[in-house]
């Protein structure tokens, strides 16, 4: 009897009730973990005490890394871009190979708290440290604004609260566990968030894969025949549907080869240079743990990343078949719900009452935002309500975990690198901890402000964040480890030239600041888009650094000894000031 009641309950509960339940449970969990893992010292606040196991760190890194963009937007972008979307898949995973092989072990051996710490000590200069702080803040703030927007989006659609209220709720939660727990609290909430987000991503993907191809593994279903008995491969069908509507073949894409190459490289190198990812490797005990946890992190990330293109292909096929040339009067319920958020728009240009979805912009009547492909996918596939709600909880986990990691980088850059290392070196540990907490409060408020009043250039700035990381940190760190002769003059000049070049190109070709109209593609240097320019800016950094170095004195003996030291794994002390 009880069981029957439960089954009834499962069927009766609306998507909204399910969302309240699942979001409520997960948020309580995060708060509970935060109280359990309070930080008592700066070392706990910055690097979780330095004793995190490789598995926990791998999970935390994966959650830290996979943001609202990975969870919500990526499959949607691939869905509309087809092959061109591969740049994100290869770019955002290939970066971990660089991270594991070229950066993480040595930075862990170096054993400090932050990335500007490394830059400042290795290049024996507070100017270098300051340039590092500025880069870290630029990169992290641009990134965190997007996370807050993601939180607001999920709240507004699934809980039908105002976007601003959603952002404020998200802010309060992050504030609570980031301020209280610092890196320690963040690490263990991220472990929980990884479990939630991966479950939430995989369940609908598996359902839809079975529906469409009969194969429960999306990575295989993606390359299988359709379940409708036609004997056609899903991807062949999708290529046909796309070309029928005037789009490029799904598996071919439209971007030039050189641009795909440049964007992929910029994203890889940018990933390896992102301070909130690098700092996670300061939290493990030994150098070998840093290597191992990079491997675990990538494995856990690839579970989602290899599923995303499958989801993209399923969703695209489903969407075209459900909507193309169908009467607007009979569209499913989810269509109307998403219309109210403005993420789907339909204008019946030829007044025939049918939805024309075609490549030709003058005839196309349907505009679907990238972001809703993942969020609406379970509804399009008519999955049970709890699955739809689960996606909302997963999207929140993805956005909050990344936001928290970024906020920590921001607060550590201010309290440790700026206050402790530059402004007031005599500050006591207790006061530094207070400063760290205060700066994370300020950072959350700024992030929330951007979430509520999203600057129009958010989309552009995410590419900018990767470009800046690629153009500044990556070369400076690589040269710092692999080139003993590299000195402060070279590194500082290289970072500044890299950042300025990146900013200039982005402002000119993405935002059109220096011209009356935005310059067209034909004006791009070497045919490289602003998204891919990070590769060029990185090369510029390397060239400038090495050239300037040749004409300036070599670094002092003690710095060269540090370089010798970080190359050897043993004797990695725990993180110190």
Residues that bind other proteins (CB under 8 A): 78, 83, 85-86, 89-90, 93-94, 96-97, 100-102, 105, 219-220, 222-225, 233-236, 251-252, 257, 260-261, 264-265, 286, 288, 291-292, 294-295, 298-299, 302, 305-306, 309, 564, 567-570
Q: How far is the CB of 502 from other proteins (least distance, A)?
A: 21
Q: Least distance (Å) from other proteins to the CB of residue 264?
A: 7
Least separation, in Å, of the C-beta of 368 and other proteins?
21
User: Token digits for 156?
Assistant: 């507004």
Residues 6+ apart with CB under 8 A from 569: 105, 109, 286, 287, 288
CB of 348 to other proteins, least distance (A): 35
Least distance (Å) between residue 533 CB and other proteins: 17
- Report the nearest approach of other proteins to the CB of residue 289 (Å): 10
Nearer to other proteins, 288 or 437 (CB): 288
Smallest distance from the beta carbon of 332 to other proteins, in angstroms?
28
Among 490, 484, 478, CA closest to 563: 484
> Shortest gap between Cβ of 220 and other proteins (angstroms)?
8
Cα 471 to chain centroid distance, Å, stands at: 18
* Cβ closest to other proteins, residue 1 vs residue 257: 257
Pair of tokens at residue 160: 């039908």
- Closest approach, Cβ 299 to other proteins, in A, equals 5
Q: Are 298 and 271 in contact (CB under 8 A)?
A: no
**Residue whose CB is less far from other proteins, 22 or 89:** 89
**Residues contacting residue 102 through CB under 8 Å, at least 6 positions apart:** 272, 478, 481, 482
Question: In this complex, which beta carbon is closest to other proteins, that of residue 245 or of residue 302?
Answer: 302
Distance CA 505, CA 536 (A): 10
Q: Which is nearer to other proteins, 69 or 265 (CB)?
A: 265
Nearer to other proteins, 114 or 242 (CB): 242
Helix axes 257-272, 458-471, angle to 10 degrees: 70
Considering the complex, what minimum distance in angstroms separates the CB of residue 520 from other proteins? Answer: 24
In angstroms, what CA-CA distances link 58 with 45, 110, 398, 477?
A: 19, 20, 15, 22
Nearer to other proteins, 224 or 322 (CB): 224
Q: Which is nearer to other proteins, 224 or 243 (CB)?
A: 224
User: Which one, 28 or 254, has the nearer CB to other proteins?
Assistant: 254
* SS3 of residue 367 by DSSP: strand
In the complex with other proteins, which residue's Cβ is closer, 54 or 498?
54
Contact 239, 245 (CB under 8 A): no
Distances (CA, A) of 98 to 61, 104, 207, 395, 478: 15, 9, 34, 27, 10
What 326-333 contacts at long range (C-beta under 8 Å, 24+ apart), as own/partner pairs, is: 326/354, 326/355, 327/353, 327/354, 327/355, 328/353, 328/354, 328/355, 329/353, 331/355, 332/379, 332/380, 333/379
CA distance 199 to 63: 12
Task: For residue 52, list its beta bridge partners.
Answer: 284
Residue where the block lists tokens 């990767």:
466
Least gap, CB of 481 to other proteins (angstroms): 11
Handedness of CA 404, 410, 414, 420 (dihedral sign): positive
Supply the minimum distance, in Å, between the C-beta of residue 117 and other proteins: 23
Strand, coil or helix: 20: helix
Taking only Cα atoms into account, the Rg of the chain, rounded to an integer number of angstroms, comes to: 24
Q: Quick one: how far is CA 15 from the chain centroid?
A: 27
**Tokens describing residue 508:** 């000119």
- Beta strand spans in 310-352 (E): 344-346
Choose between 39 and 559: whose C-beta lies nearer to other proteins.
559
Q: Which is nearer to other proteins, 125 or 306 (CB)?
A: 306
Token couple for 3:
């069981």
């Amino acid at each position: 009897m009880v069981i029957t009641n439960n089954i009834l309950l499962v069927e009766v509960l609306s998507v909204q009730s399910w969302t309240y339940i699942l979001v409520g449970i997960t948020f309580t969990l995060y708060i509970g973990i935060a109280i359990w893992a309070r930080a008592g010292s700066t070392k706990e606040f910055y690097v979780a005490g330095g004793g995190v196991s490789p598995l926990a760190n791998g999970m935390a890194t994966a959650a830290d890394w996979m943001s609202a963009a990975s969870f919500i937007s990526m499959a949607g972008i691939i869905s509309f871009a087809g092959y061109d979307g591969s740049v994100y898949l290869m770019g955002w995973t290939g970066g971990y190979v660089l991270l594991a092989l070229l950066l993480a072990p040595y930075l862990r051996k170096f054993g400090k708290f932050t990335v500007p710490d490394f830059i400042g000590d290795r290049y024996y200069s507070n100017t270098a440290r300051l340039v590092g702080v500025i880069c870290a803040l630029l990169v992290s703030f641009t990134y965190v604004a997007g996370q807050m927007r993601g939180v607001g989006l999920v709240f507004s659609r699934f809980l039908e609260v105002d976007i601003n209220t959603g952002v404020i709720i998200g802010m309060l939660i992050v504030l609570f566990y980031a301020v209280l727990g610092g890196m320690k609290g963040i690490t263990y909430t991220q472990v929980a968030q990884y479990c939630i987000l991966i479950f939430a991503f995989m369940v609908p993907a598996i359902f839809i894969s079975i529906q469409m191809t009969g194969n429960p593994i999306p990575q295989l279903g993606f390359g299988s025949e359709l379940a409708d008995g036609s004997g056609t491969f899903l991807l062949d069908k999708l290529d046909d549907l796309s070309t029928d509507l005037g789009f490029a073949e799904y598996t071919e894409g439209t971007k030039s080869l050189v641009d795909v190459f440049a964007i992929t490289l910029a994203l890889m190198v940018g990933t390896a240079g992102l301070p909130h990812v690098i700092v996670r490797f300061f939290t493990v005990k030994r150098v070998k743990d840093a290597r191992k946890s990079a491997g675990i992190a990538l494995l856990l990330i690839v579970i989602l990343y290899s599923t995303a293109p499958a989801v993209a292909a399923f969703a695209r096929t489903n969407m075209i078949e459900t909507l193309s040339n169908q009467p607007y009067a009979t569209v499913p319920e989810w269509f109307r719900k998403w219309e109210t958020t403005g993420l789907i728009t339909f204008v019946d240009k030829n007044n025939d009452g049918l939805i024309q979805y075609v490549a030709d912009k003058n005839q196309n009547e349907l505009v679907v935002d990238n972001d809703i492909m993942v969020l609406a996918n379970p509804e399009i596939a008519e999955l049970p309500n709890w699955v739809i709600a689960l996606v909302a909880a997963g999207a929140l986990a993805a956005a909050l975990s990344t936001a928290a990691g970024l906020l920590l980088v921001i607060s550590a850059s201010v309290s440790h690198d700026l206050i402790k290392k530059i402004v007031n070196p005599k500050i006591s540990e207790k006061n530094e901890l207070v400063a760290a907490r205060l700066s994370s409060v300020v950072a959350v408020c700024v992030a929330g402000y951007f979430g509520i009043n999203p600057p129009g250039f958010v989309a552009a700035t995410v590419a900018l964040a990767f470009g800046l990381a690629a153009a500044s940190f990556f070369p400076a760190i690589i040269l710092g480890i692999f080139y003993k002769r590299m000195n402060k003059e070279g590194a500082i000049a290289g970072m500044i030239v890299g950042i300025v070049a990146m900013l200039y190109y982005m402002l000119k070709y993405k935002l059109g600041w220096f011209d009356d109209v935005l310059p067209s593609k034909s004006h791009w240097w070497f045919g490289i888009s602003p998204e891919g320019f990070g590769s060029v800016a990185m090369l510029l950094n390397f060239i400038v650094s090495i050239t300037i170095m040749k004409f300036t004195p070599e670094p002092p003996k003690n710095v060269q000894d540090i370089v010798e030291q970080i190359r050897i794994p043993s004797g990695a002390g725990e993180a110190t000031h």
